[in-house]
Structure 1
Amino acid sequence: MNRPSRIQALGAITAALLVLTACKPPPEGANAPANAAGAVNPANSVLTVEVTSPTTLPWPQTLQANGALAAWQDVIVSPETGGLRIAELAVDVGTRVKRGQLLARLADDSLQNDLHKQQALLAQAQATLDQATSNVQRAKLAEGSGGLSAQAIEQYRITEATARAALASAQADLDATQLKLRQTRITAPDDGLVSTRTAVLGNVVSAGNELFRLVRQSRVEWRAEVDARQLATVKEGQRASVTLPTGQAVDGRVRLVGPVLSTETGRALVYVSLAGDGAARVGMFASGSIELPAWPALTLPQSALVSRDGRDYVYTVDAAGKAHSAVVTVGRRQQQRVEVLSGVAANARVVASGGAFLSDGVQVTVTSAPAPASAALR
């Protein structure tokens, strides 16, 4: 090869080396511009996320409990007179009744006969009294003439007093018979729901035997069982929510806190009046919660949580814009927010949503999430 050809070949090789050197990428991050916060340029991030900080809100505490549903008050309906046959049954189990409504009627044939007899005895006693009164009046007229002795006159007066007492006795017997007649109509002592009926048509009843049982005013209450420590936090008037076996939730309010604890179970009863919508039935066993006074709680949006392997995580973002996972312990959940018991600092920057798409150490672009309302969640 002659000299000019060698010079041309060396020039071509040198130009090729210069092109390759110009095309080689610079070291990672060597010339990457940084933003004001020190984070890498958003062009290098894998995701744009909103961040928020844990917020302390006054949250009402809740007390979980279980217990049976029972009647607010039971009303036992029994006959006040005995020895009579049930002639009519006007209601059955499940009937809603009003005060004074007829529930059953007893046969009153024998009492009608007694009534007629007492009316006759009363008329006889009245006639006897009238005669005795007339005799006394005549004796008074003859008293001054000496036609009757003082002893005879006194006897007339005694006879009149005896007749008057006999009349009062006959009147009392008549009143008693009329009362028994009224008692053959067995009526509801108050508004309510017939829960049981033991009365049988044609049966001869005894005074005091239970015929019907009513749920007074159809009111049902939840009797929650709590221990001594929980009992100290419950007050009358607190709100409650009861979940029925059907899954339906019923609102209520604490009516009474039991004054004593059972010597057998060591637990006390809290009586919660329930809204009367007919869903709650006596005898159901239900679970529920009682709302206690509000207490400060550190909270995050529920969307910030990522659940993996049975644990809850959140992702925090450091000053360099890198995401890091943290295991957290959570508590109550209300209105799309969750209480954080441990695992994250109060001033941490937490990814508000989309954490499931992140992994430790990835670069993110940060925007701020709106702050939650500061009012108590209810």
Structure 2
Amino acid sequence: MLVFERDMVREFAGFAPAETDQTDTTTLAEEAAETATAAAAPGGGVSVIAVESTAREIDSAVVIRGRTEAVRAVDLLAETSGRSVAAPIQKGALVSTGDVLCEIDMGTRAEALAEARARLAEAQANAPTASARVAEAQARLDEAETNLNNTESLASGGFAAETRVIAARAALRTAEAVLAAARGGAASAEAAIEAARSAVANAEREIERTRITAPFDGVLETDTAELGSLLQPGALCARVLDLDPIHLVGFVSEVDIERVEIGAMAGARLSSGREVMGQVTFVSRSADPTTRTFRVEAEVANPDLSIRDGQAAEILVRAAGRMAHLLPQSALTLDDAGSLGVRIAVADGDGDVARFAPVELLRDSPEGVWVAGLPEVARVIVVGQNYVTDGVAIAVTMQEGGS
């Protein structure tokens, strides 16, 4: 009532409302004028408070939003058909290289292997006979060539008829044909041996396919195939993950990719709050065509497998140190163009003037913010920076405890 019905209360108490309001307005105006006068320095400059800041080298880091990823993950698929005859292994179980995860009924595969081996033995037994036939045909060819040469010599001296020469030449052609046929038979024998060997290898490989084993040490992400289920080629036996070590995967923008190097230390805070350390092992040379970002991987030891595949992570990759100033966050301001920066005191003649200096925000900390872009030593205005513009004369009061 005193606030909203002030005039009525004053009139009831015997005061003159108009004169009192005029007196109050005059008093407020005088107080505002006195405050403005007190803010101005004796020399005419605006009074501000500044700190003297010296640049220091700090470890810079590239911050990446990413996730954890298994170093290896494989879906084990059946390569042959048959009924599963092995008891299933529950997901979450640890497996070692070579452990049998799924086994398919052998069926008639053993008999097929025995038949292939028998055919191989038969083909190998026929090979010497074919080689002997080649040798025999070669001997007959040599004999036919000798007979032809002798007959031609006798015929040239008049001691043999021309018909004997013709017969010798026919015998040579026959020997050549027999040799060619023998060589063809030897080649067929070798081909039969190779075909038999291939059949044996296929039968042995078909038997190997009935046992699906773990390709590396890891953990089962799914149950293995159920006992009695029918597996066809391409059917899933189990999924195996290799989680030690585990990868931290993130995507870095074009602006920061030059600061990330292979071998740099990388730390991460997982979604659970756990912090881990690792080392960068891969930096992509090709950008994602959609996001224009580059894939970065860091490797972290995970002997107890406590870090799971797919956890969200905030990754910090150590980069080269930079010179920066530690300033209170309240010192930051914006210029007319919306650029982030601070106002600094710069000597100009006999006094100081205010200047806007754009900065790059590097890191936030409990003590303040780390910024780059300022001179090595700068007087940064921390009180009154929002009431001055470039070129305005200022009276600087230095605050103790500058950085």
What TM-score bracket applies, with the shorter chain setting the length? 0.5 to 0.7
Number of the residue aligned with 1:281: 308
SS of alignment partner, residue 123 of structure 2: helix
* Structure-2 residue corresponding to 1:172: 198
Question: Which residue of structure 1 aligns with residue 22 of structure 2?
Answer: none
Contact 2:88 2:224 in 1 (8 A): no
The CA distance in 1 between the partners of 2:130 and 2:140, in whole Å, is 16
Residue 108 of structure 1 aligns with which residue?
Answer: 106
- Residue type at the aligned position of 1:58: E
Tell me the residue number matched to 2:211: 185
2:316 counterpart letter in structure 1:
S
SS in 1 for 2:108: helix
TM-score of the superposition, structure 1-length normalised?
0.57
Instruction: Specify which of 222, 229, 253 is matched with residue 255 of structure 2.
Output: 229
Q: Are the aligned partners of 1:191 and 1:218 in contact in 2 as well (CA < 8 Å)? A: no
For 1:291, what is the secondary structure of its paired residue? Answer: strand
Task: Tell me the TM-score normalised to structure 2 length.
Answer: 0.54
Cα separation, 2, equivalents of 1:244 and 1:153: 79
Alignment match, 1:72: 71
Counterpart in 1 of 2:365? 333
Q: CA deviation at 1:111?
A: 1.0
CA–CA separation in structure 1 for the residues paired with 2:195 and 2:274: 62
| Larger deviation, residues 201-210 vs 153-162 | 153-162
Instruction: Map 1:1-378 onto structure 2 (within 5 A).
Output: 56-79=55-78, 81-88=79-86, 91-129=89-127, 150=175, 158-196=184-222, 199-216=225-242, 218-277=244-303, 278-299=305-326, 332-333=364-365, 339=369, 348-350=399-401
For residue 295 of structure 1, report the CA deviation from its aligned partner.
1.8
Instruction: Return 5+ residue gaps in structure 2 as ranges.
Output: 1-50, 148-170, 330-360, 372-379, 383-395
Amino acid at match of 2:120: L
Asked whether the 8 Å contact 1:118–1:174 carries over to 2, the reply is yes
- 1:264 CA displacement: 3.8
Return the letter of the residue paired with 1:74.
A
Pick the structure with more helix per residue.
Answer: 2
> 1:185-204, CA deviations, whole angstroms, 9 ceiling, x for partnerless residues?
22233333333456444333
* Cross-structure match for 1:48: none
Q: Cα 1:65–1:116, aligned 2, differ >3 Å: closer, same or farther? A: same
Partner Cα distance (1:142, 1:225) in 2: 79
**How many angstroms does 1:331 deviate by?**
5.0
CA contact (8 A) 1:330 1:338 kept: no
User: What is the aligned partner in structure 1 of residue 15 from structure 2?
Assistant: none
| Contact 2:91–2:224 (8 Å) recurs in 1 | no
Asked whether the equivalents of residues 247 and 297 of structure 2 are also in contact (C-alpha less than 8 Å), the reply is yes
**CA 343–239 in structure 1, closer or farther in 2 if over 3 Å, else same:** farther
| 2:85–2:227 CA contact under 8 A, matched in 1 | yes
**Alpha carbons of 1:288 and 1:343: their partners in 2 closer, same or farther (altered >3 Å)?**
farther
Residue 264 to residue 282, structure 1, CA distance change in 2 (3 Å): same
Matched position secondary structure for 2:68: strand
Classify 1:95/1:57 alpha carbon distance in 2 versus 1 (closer, same or farther; 3 Å).
farther
Alignment-mate amino acid for residue 224 of structure 1: G
CA deviation after TM superposition for structure 1 residue 290, in Å:
2.5
Given that 1:191 and 1:217 are in contact with CA atoms closer than 8 Å, whether structure 2 keeps it comes out as no
User: Aligned to 2:216, what secondary structure does the other structure show?
Assistant: coil
**Residues 214-268 of structure 1, C-alpha deviations (whole Å, 9 max, x = no match):** 3346332222233332334323222222111221111122222333444444544
Identical amino acids, percent of aligned pairs:
22
1:43 aligns with none
Shift, 1:273, TM fit: 2.0
1:136-163 deviations in Å (ceiling 9; x for gaps): 77888999799x9857787666545534
Higher mean Cα deviation, 228-237 or 259-268? 259-268
Query: Shift of residue 182 of structure 1?
Result: 2.3
Structure 1 runs not aligned, ≥5 long:
1-51, 306-328, 352-371, 373-378
Contact 1:190 1:217 in 2 (8 A): no
Once the 2 structures are TM-superposed, how far is the Cα of residue 82 of structure 1 from its aligned partner?
1.6
How far did residue 339 of structure 1 move? 4.9
Counterpart CA distance in 1 for 2:306 and 2:54 is 39
Assess, with a 3 A threshold, how the Cα gap between structure 1 residues 99 and 343 changes in structure 2: closer, same or farther.
farther
